[in-house]
Each structure stands twice: as C-alpha cells, then as structure tokens.
Amino acid sequence: MSVEAPLASPGALEAATARASANALAAPLTELAVGTSGCVQAVNGERGLRYRLLELGLLPGTELAVLRCAPGGDPIEIGLRGYALSLRRDEAATVLVVPSTASTHGAQAPEET
Amino acid sequence: MTRDLLAARPPRIALLGNPNSGKTTLFNLLSGSNERVSNYAGVTVERVSATLQLAGMRCELVDIPGLYSLAARSPEESIAVQEVLGHKPDRNVRTSPADSATAPPGAMQPNAVKGARSGGQAAARNAEARSSVAGAQATAPAALVLVVPAPALRRGLYLALQALTLPYPVTVVVTLNDEVEAAGLRVDASALADALGVPVLLSQGRKVDALALKRVLASLVASERPARTMDWPQAAAEAIARVSKAATGAEPATHEGAALIALLSWNESQRAPLGMDPSLFAAAGQVTLSAEARGLPLAERIIETLYAEVDRLASQTLVPGGKPSHTGLRLRERLDTWLKQPLLGFLSLAAVLLGLFHLLFTAAEPVMGLIETGIGGLQTWLGAVLPPGFVASLLIDGVLAGVGNVVVFVPQIALLFLLLGALEDTGYLARVAFLLDRPLRRFGLQGKAVVPLLSGFACAIPAILATRTLPRFRDRLLTMLAIPYVACAARLPVFLVIAGVLFSDAPPLLGVSRAAWALLAMYTLSVSASLAAAWVFSKVLAGRSDSPLLLDLPPLRWPKARNLLRLVRSRVKSFLKDAGTIILALTVILWALLSFPQAPALPDGSEASAGEQLRYSVGGRAGIALEPLWEPMGVDWRIGLGIISAFAAREVFVSTLGVVFGLESADEDSGALRNQLSDARTGRGAPLLTTASGLAVMVFFVLACQCMSTLAVVRRESGTVRWPIIMFSSMTLIAYAAACLTYWLLALVTGT
C-alpha cells in the first residue's frame, strides 16, 4: 500500500506553530543547563518521534530535570516520571520546555509520588 | 470468542513489558529455560518461548521483546504487535497458490522488516496459520502477563493500559519493588487490582512468587475479560470508532483496541507494522489527517487521555511505605555519575576492558592447565593401551589433539560470557552506550548500534540479530557490516594460543601480563577496524542516518547469578556442541588428509619419519604448494593450513594445529599444543612463531571474516547475497594485506 502523503498536513503545522509561540518563555530542551529543571510545553518534530516522546511521558505539563550530558554535550540524560531517559540533542531540540525559575537542589529526578 | 476452536494447539501466554522491567527474569522463573535476561534496552530480539504446565494444561509461554508502546516503530517492536494483536495476512496464506502468487504474504511489508519476517520465527508462524482453522484469531493470546516495573510505574502502566483495551485475560505483575521501597514508597497491589479489574501480583523485593503466578495464569487461560473502556474525549472516541469500522479481522471485540494502536502507529513515512491489519492502518491515516486539517492533533489527545488515566492510577496505588535506605541509593547515584563523566567514564572503561583481558588470561589458566593435563593423560593412556596403527593415530593425533585443543578454551569462553553478561546486567554497558553515542555517530553509526556492536564481542550472530532494534534499514545494514570486525569469542582461542606462545616467558608490563596487552591491542584493532568499515560504508551508501536515539538508562543493578549462570551454561553448551560435531568432523577429515597416502619406507627398510609422512600426505602436499601465499606473513604451510581450515570456523585453527603438530611429533613425547608451537622451527631452524609472524597471524584473524554462519545470517537479514559477498571479499583482502604489512614492519623493527 502506498502512503506517500505530504510530510505533514497544513493543519498540523499550524497547530505546532501555535503551540510553539504560545509561551515566549519556552525554550528547546537543549537550552536547559545540567542540573536545572523545567516543564514540558510542547513536543514538535517528525510524527514518529513526536508520538514516541509523548508515549515516553514527555507530555505538556510534565516536570523534567536535565541530569547530565555525555562527553561533548551529547546525548543528554533527563529525569522524568521517576525514570531516566537519554536522548540526543537533535531529539531534545524538538521538546519545548518552560524552565523552572526556582533552581533545583542538585541533579535529582522529579520524584514519583 | 472462538478460542475453543483452537483446543488442538496449546494456549499461548505472552509476557509484555518495558525493557529492563525484569520480564525475562520472570520468564526464566516460570519456564526454567535458557533464555537470558539483561539490563540492556532491547536485548531479547528473537521470539523466545517455552512450554509451561498449568494445572495439567500445556501452555506456550512467549517472551516478547521489551517495548514502551504497542505502536511499533522498529522491526523488533512489530514482533510484539504480531504476538499481541495477531493480525496476519492469513487470507493470502490460506487461499489457493494462484491467489498467494498475486498477493504474497510479504507484499505489504517494507524492506526494513524483511529480516524479521524471513527468520525462522516468521516461517514457523506462517506454518501455524496454515494449519489453523480460525485464521486471524489463531494468533490471539490466551492470556497476557503485563510486567510493570515499580520504579517506572507510570511508563509501565501506559503500556499496560494499551494492552488492557484488548479483550484478553490479563494479569499484572509489578516487579523491582525493592527499588521503590528504598525510596520510601510501595505499590498498593489491591488498589491497583481494583482499579484495573485484573489480578495484580507484587514482587517481594526482587522475587516474584512463581507458584502464585502460575495459579493465577491457570485460572486466567480459560477465562474471558471484556476490553477496558476508556473515558475518551469525544473526538478521540469518534475517531477510534471510525477506524475500527475498517477492521477486517474476525474478532470484533479486538477492533477498538486495534484501532487505538493503529492511530498511535500511523505515520506517513511508514507502512503498517507486521501483525497489524493494513486496512486499519490506512483508515487511521485518513482519520488522523482529516482531524489535523481541522487543527486537532488526534494521537496527542489519545496519549494525553491515557496518561491522565495513568496518573490517576499511579496516585492511587503508589503510596508511602517501605524502608527508605538512602545510603545505598546515594552511593549508587554517585557511582552512576562517575561512570558517565568524560574523564572517569573513559578511564573506567579502559580499566574494565584491561581487567577483563587480564582475568581471561590469569583466572582461567589453572582450569585450562587441568584440562590440558587431562587430555594429555588420556592421549598417553590411549597410546599405551591401543596397538600402534591408524586407529590409535586417529584417536590420539586426530580427535584428541584436534577437539581436545578446542575444549581447552571452555574456561575462557565461560569466563568471557560471565564477565560480559555481568557488565550488561548491571547496566554498565548502557552507560558505555551513553558515553560512546557521539563518537560513534562520527563514523556514521547510530548510537543504539552500541548494543549490537558490544554483543559482537561475544558472537557476531546474536549481534547481527540484535540490529533489529534499529528502526531504519540503512542503520541496520551499516551496523551489520561493522559487526564482523568486532573480535568475537571464537577468535579468543586463536589469540590465546599465539599470545601464550609469544609471551609466556616475558615479564609483565605495568603489572599486566604482556599477553593481555597483546590481547588489548587486538581488541583495539578490531574496534578501530569495525568503526572504519562503518565509516567507509556510510560514505558509500546513499542516505543519512537520522533515526533518533532514545536510551532508557536503568539504575545500576546487581546482576542475577541465576541468569548469568544460565547464559554461561547455554553458551558453553553450544560451544561444546560445535566442538563435538563440526570441529570433530573437520578434524577427522583433516587427519585423513594429513595421514594418507602413506610415505614409502626408506631405502634401509625403516619407516618414514612423522615429519616426512606429513609432507608426503595429500593435505601436506597441498599445504606446501600454497606456502608462497603465507611467506609474506612470515609463517610456513603448517600455520597456513590452520588459517585455511579456519574459514569454516575460527576455532578450527586451533584444532588443525593440534592435528598437524600432533601428527608431526607422533614419534616424540608430545606435550600441549602451546609447547609444540613454541618448539616449532621453520625449515631454516628459526622459531616458527616470532613476535612478527605471531602478531601477523593474530591481525589476520582480527580482520578476516572466517565464519560461515555470520555470512549466512547477513544474507538473511540484509535480504541479498550482495552484502555477504562484499563483506567476505573485502575482509579477506584487508586481512591478508594487513597481516603481511604487520609482519614486514615488525620484522624490520625486531630484525628477525
């Protein structure tokens, strides 16, 4: 079967752009320094990756912390929902986060409560 | 439900869960099988099943590769969809040959999953479909065991909720409870059971009560459970209903759940994953696009709704309790931080590898010596008991010298698998993958390729199968082409024999034996060569690596002795099986080639010496004819014969040398192969193995593709004979050139 549809429908693009510009404070996850935390605002990027990141729990409103990064700054390890996930900067750049104003004490994954 | 139609086949129970959830440990516990468990994301690649007796009923237990969602994005994940959703293009399989010719079962599948399909598993399952009466339902599982890891409860519950929308009997097993208890929390099993409406079992610390689980499963297998209904937002509910109308499968109760998974799987650049009804997938695409045209991200809404439910469940069931033990936790966290730091991370990696090679030489030595003595004793005894002649020669210089010299390496093979398995199960290798992702990408490899590449140190065949975890075909192919350069366990006997001969008397360097340094050099060469191969092929192959890396880093854990011992046992068993079959057969053939025809008696009436007899035989004459080929590598026809025979399998090198030198020294009191080799002289009386020629042979073995099974697996997984041919010819040429260069350079330096 052929599914040679265009890359994304115009509606999806608009929705993504609207989500992206909703909050001027939001920045790509890659901008977050190690040891700081933030709150997911939106996940953009290619559909397969976007769905997978959402399914791993990076939903809008989710608290996450940047735990560390590998030598060379890539990939980065984040803590969310009580577990650790590492992803490349390329993928992290598709996640928009609102940095938390209060600095977290050390690199701690948000506890699961 | 038409499940009773299948009474002839055993009901199938599938284990479903995230990677690193302790799923395979559970499988081992239930089945007592040889399947291995690992801390590493995605190690269970092939379908692993076992027979299980439940209250007198025979069931099939299947361990599904770990995954996060039933929305498959790699060939490996589609195996899970196939097991759970069980849709097959069975009409094609069951109709007349003419029909199947126009629509072969594989026609709907993209290239990337060909490998997974053409494996033995797919063939077996097609056979299943042919023999079944009920078509699509034939693959419906009789029950699902949903393995939910307590430390990542929400992520595990997300997958569990997806599975619960399908109408199969289910039990949930919450594993790794010790880790949440250490954080002062516990999972309330009865609350979770009430909320989900299915039986929930809790592990006590690490342990799951196998008997209780079997009791639950026995009652589940014959039972029915309605699909779980979710409180979808209206748009999502409508979309699911619309998609499910497109379903063609015969079991309507599964349609909604399947529609949900189709909506989450659909992607414009992908085709329907194996096991999913293609018409559902197509309908999901239409519905998604039309919703997006109205500005409604459908899958996002669905995932949000599922996670809202997950959050509700988690807040009800994850309650304060347990005994917090912060010291152990903090120590582990600190160690984890160190291992991922640039400097300490790479230093510890180097230390771990060096320690591993050092242990391989020193720790296994006593056992090795014991086996050598045993075989030597057996040879002496046979020599005394049997009348001299061909039978004695076949047994002593053929079978025992050949197979015996391979069996000697069992302690090392066992140790290698034990150590590699332990590194994997602690989660250390996952840290190495984290460290090495960026460097690897420079060579065109995908970060996740670390997993198959590292398992290549054990054996290339499971490593090549493990490339199925990579979502894109190009990444799989690149990794496959790089893997055969990684020094597998079969090269170890060759390295050990030669390094043992070269450096047995040399003093240690920096406290580590010189042989271990040589081994480290060979492993470094093999890693560099495999990276170089990946780099070259990534430049040649069209396309670009753009598949994402999402690596689940589980906490550092103690490996389970039981799982490790199982792994070692199964590997040693298959090594010994090879030694007892292929290597035995080759050894006997080689012995015959080297023993006949008999050299004529000398003019004075005495028999020809063993050395002359060897040169007179068919094998000896052929070997001597090929000697010019080996001269640039600094070795004579005897070693050359070993190299040629090693193209069947690398260990055969050692057995061949065992036979060659065993026959040659048949007159004298023959010692262990290592002694024979260090005593061996060239025609001019110089030592046969010098540093230069010995290392040249080792280099040849690092780089040459001397493994028929590897070529066969690459043929199967890449889908063409082109790649195995390219692989074999390029590797052989490179190996020969590099070995000659090594000899020439080292001979120049050492002046031999």
Express each pLDDT in B234-293 by its tens digit. 999 999 999 999 888 767 888 889 999 999 999 887 778 777 888 999 999 999 999 999
Is B101's pLDDT higher than 60?
no
B620-643: average pLDDT: 84
Cβ within 8 Å, pair A112-B73: no
Q: Which residue has the tokens 């992290």?
A: A92
DSSP at B83 = H
B163 close to B70: Cβ distance less than 8 angstroms:
yes
pLDDT band at residue B685 using 50, 70 and 90 as cut-offs = low
Q: How far is CA B89 from the centre of its chain?
A: 29
Provide, as residue numbers in chain B, all residues whose Cβ is less than 8 Å from the Cβ of A111. Answer: 183
What pLDDT was estimated at residue B125?
Answer: 35
Q: Which domain holds residue B153?
A: 1-324
Quote the number of domains for chain B: 1
Give the whole-angstrom CA distance, residue B242 versus residue B284: 9
Give the whole-angstrom CA distance, residue B654 versus residue B641: 11
What pLDDT was estimated at residue B305?
Answer: 95
pLDDT band at residue B642 using 50, 70 and 90 as cut-offs = confident
Q: What angle do CA B272, B719, B468 make, to 5 degrees?
A: 60
Nearest Cα to B263, choosing from B247, B239, B279, B245? B239
Least confident window among A89-98, B306-315, B326-335, B491-500: B326-335
B650-670: average pLDDT: 72
**Cα–Cα distance list, B570 to B26, B249, B417, B567, B670 (Å):** 18, 40, 10, 5, 33
Q: How many CB atoms lie within 10 A of CB B667?
A: 11
Share of chain B above pLDDT 90, in %: 21
What pLDDT was estimated at residue B104?
Answer: 30
What pLDDT was estimated at residue B146?
Answer: 96
End-to-end CA distance of chain B: 80
Tell me, what CATH number does B161's domain have? 3.40.50.300
pLDDT band at residue B582 using 50, 70 and 90 as cut-offs = confident
More confident call, B171 vs B101? B171
Cβ within 8 Å, pair B155-A5: no
Here the tokens at position A46 are: 């290619």
What pLDDT was estimated at residue B286?
Answer: 94
Residue type, B646: A
Residue type, B672: A
Is A22's pLDDT higher than 70?
no
Is B466's pLDDT higher than 50?
yes
Task: Indicate which of B340, B346, B440 best probes the interface with A, i.e. most A CBs within 10 Å of its own CB.
Answer: B340
pLDDT band at residue B37 using 50, 70 and 90 as cut-offs = very low
Across the interface, which of A9, A15, A57 has its CB nearest the CB of B155? A57
B465-474: average pLDDT: 74
Q: Which domain holds residue A93?
A: 10-99
What pLDDT was estimated at residue B345?
Answer: 84
What pLDDT was estimated at residue A54?
Answer: 93
**Model pLDDT for residues B531-550, shown as the tens digit of each residue:** 999 899 888 876 655 566 77
B534 close to B412: Cβ distance less than 8 angstroms:
no
Instruction: Identify the closest residue of chain A to B430 by CA–CA distance.
Output: A86
Task: Indicate which of B271, B445, B551, B557 best probes the interface with A, i.e. most A CBs within 10 Å of its own CB.
Answer: B551
pLDDT band at residue A36 using 50, 70 and 90 as cut-offs = very high
Share of chain B above pLDDT 70, in %: 83
Laid out side by side, the sheet with B48-54 consists of B48-54, B57-63, B12-17, B143-149, B170-175, B200-202
Is B418's pLDDT higher than 80?
yes
Q: How many CB atoms lie within 10 A of CB A102?
A: 7
Provide, as residue numbers in chain B, all residues whose Cβ is less than 8 Å from the Cβ of A59. Answer: 303-304, 307
Q: Is the residue at B244 inside a domain?
A: yes
Cβ within 8 Å, pair A87-B346: no
Across the interface, which of B342, B346, B553 has its CB nearest the CB of A84? B553
B148 close to B200: Cβ distance less than 8 angstroms:
no
pLDDT band at residue A16 using 50, 70 and 90 as cut-offs = low
**Model pLDDT for residues B326-369, shown as the tens digit of each residue:** 666 677 778 888 887 778 888 888 888 778 777 776 777 788 78
Max distance between CA atoms of chain A, in angstroms, equals 53
Cβ within 8 Å, pair A112-B307: no
Give the whole-angstrom CA distance, residue B513 versus residue B106: 54
Residues contacting residue B389 through CB under 8 Å, at least 6 positions apart: none
**Cα–Cα distance list, A6 to A13, B285, B527, B709 (Å):** 12, 12, 41, 42
Taking the CA of residue A23 and the nearest CA in chain B, the distance in Å comes to 19
Q: Is the residue at A5 inside a domain?
A: no
Give the whole-angstrom CA distance, residue B181 versus residue B324: 6
Taking the CA of residue B351 and the nearest CA in chain A, the distance in Å comes to 18
More confident call, B608 vs B530? B530
**Model pLDDT for residues B561-577, shown as the tens digit of each residue:** 877 887 788 778 777 87
Angle between helices B514-540 and B691-703 (to 10 degrees): 40
Give the whole-angstrom CA distance, residue B503 versus residue B690: 10
Q: Is the residue at B422 inside a domain?
A: no
Is B308's pLDDT higher than 90?
yes
What pLDDT was estimated at residue B648?
Answer: 72
Is B595's pLDDT higher than 70?
yes
What pLDDT was estimated at residue A98?
Answer: 93
Residue type, B665: S
B368-385: average pLDDT: 84
Residues contacting residue B270 through CB under 8 Å, at least 6 positions apart: A3, A48, B73, B110
Least confident window among B63-77, B83-97, B668-682: B83-97
DSSP at B19 = T
Q: How many CB atoms lie within 10 A of CB B93?
A: 19
B278 close to A3: Cβ distance less than 8 angstroms:
no
Cβ within 8 Å, pair B552-A81: no
Is B144's pLDDT higher than 60?
yes
Provide, as residue numbers in chain B, all residues whose Cβ is less than 8 Å from the Cβ of A91. Answer: 548-550
Taking the CA of residue B333 and the nearest CA in chain A, the distance in Å comes to 10
Instruction: Identify the closest residue of chain A to B308 by CA–CA distance.
Output: A59
Provide, as residue numbers in chain B, all residues whose Cβ is less than 8 Å from the Cβ of A84. Answer: 552-555
Across the interface, which of B294, B318, B437 has its CB nearest the CB of A11? B294
DSSP string covering B405-439: HHHTTHHHHHHHHHHHHHHHHTTHHHHHHHHHHHH
Is B201's pLDDT higher than 90?
yes
Quote the number of domains for chain A: 1
What pLDDT was estimated at residue B91?
Answer: 38
Max distance between CA atoms of chain B, in angstroms, equals 105
Give the whole-angstrom CA distance, residue B89 versus residue B91: 6
Please enumerate, as own/partner, the contacts of B337-341 that have beta carbons within 8 Å and a separation of 24 or more.
Answer: B337/A68, B337/A107, B339/B428, B339/B431, B339/B556, B340/A68, B340/A70, B340/A77, B340/B431, B340/B434, B340/B435
B142 close to B283: Cβ distance less than 8 angstroms:
no
DSSP string covering chain A: ------SS-HHHHHHHHHHHHS-TT-EEGGGSPTT-EEEEEEE-S-HHHHHHHHHTT--TT-EEEEEEE-GGG-SEEEEETTEEEEE-HHHHTTEEEEE-SSPPSSS-PPPP-
Nearest Cα to A42, choosing from A53, A31, A56? A53
Q: Is the residue at A20 inside a domain?
A: yes
A–B CB contacts, 8 A cutoff, strictly below: 153
Instruction: Identify the closest residue of chain B to A53 by CA–CA distance.
Output: B550
More confident call, B239 vs B513? B239
Q: How far is CA B463 from the centre of its chain?
A: 5
Exposure string for B514-552, b = 16+ CB within 10 A, e = fewer: bbbbbbbbbbebbbebbbebbbbbbeeeeeebebbbbbb
Cβ within 8 Å, pair A83-B152: yes
pLDDT band at residue B233 using 50, 70 and 90 as cut-offs = very high
Taking the CA of residue B141 and the nearest CA in chain A, the distance in Å comes to 24
Three-state DSSP at B103 gives coil
What pLDDT was estimated at residue B559?
Answer: 81
Cite the DSSP H helix spans in B341-394: 342-362, 365-385, 390-393
What pLDDT was estimated at residue B317?
Answer: 93
Provide, as residue numbers in chain B, all residues whose Cβ is less than 8 Å from the Cβ of A77. Answer: 340, 434, 553
Nearest Cα to B134, choosing from B86, B172, B205? B86
Tell me, what CATH number does A51's domain have? 2.30.30.90
Q: Is the residue at B521 inside a domain?
A: no
Exposure of B505 by Cβ count < 10 A (0-12 exposed, 13-18 middle, 19+ buried)?
exposed
B694 close to B502: Cβ distance less than 8 angstroms:
yes
Taking the CA of residue B464 and the nearest CA in chain A, the distance in Å comes to 24
Cβ within 8 Å, pair A70-B437: yes
**Model pLDDT for residues B696-741, shown as the tens digit of each residue:** 999 999 998 887 778 877 887 787 889 989 999 999 999 999 999 9
B549 close to B448: Cβ distance less than 8 angstroms:
yes
Least confident window among A74-83, B234-243, B406-415, B698-707: B406-415
Cβ within 8 Å, pair A53-B300: no
Taking the CA of residue B146 and the nearest CA in chain A, the distance in Å comes to 17
Q: How far is CA B635 from the centre of its chain?
A: 35
Rounded-to-10 torsion of CA B434, B440, B444, B447: -20
Residue type, B120: G
Cβ within 8 Å, pair B69-A14: no
Is B604's pLDDT higher than 80?
no
Share of chain A above pLDDT 90, in %: 38
Is A49's pLDDT higher than 70?
yes
Provide, as residue numbers in chain B, all residues whose Cβ is less than 8 Å from the Cβ of A57. Answer: 154-155, 158, 307
Least confident window among A7-21, B103-117, B557-571: B103-117
pLDDT band at residue A58 using 50, 70 and 90 as cut-offs = very high
What pLDDT was estimated at residue B115?
Answer: 30
Provide, as residue numbers in chain B, all residues whose Cβ is less than 8 Å from the Cβ of A49. Answer: 548
Instruction: Identify the closest residue of chain A to B162 by CA–CA distance.
Output: A55
Residues contacting residue B603 through CB under 8 Å, at least 6 positions apart: none
Q: How far is CA B712 from the centre of its chain?
A: 15
B183 close to B324: Cβ distance less than 8 angstroms:
yes
Here the tokens at position B67 are: 């995954």
Give the whole-angstrom CA distance, residue B718 versus residue B736: 26
What pLDDT was estimated at residue B684?
Answer: 66
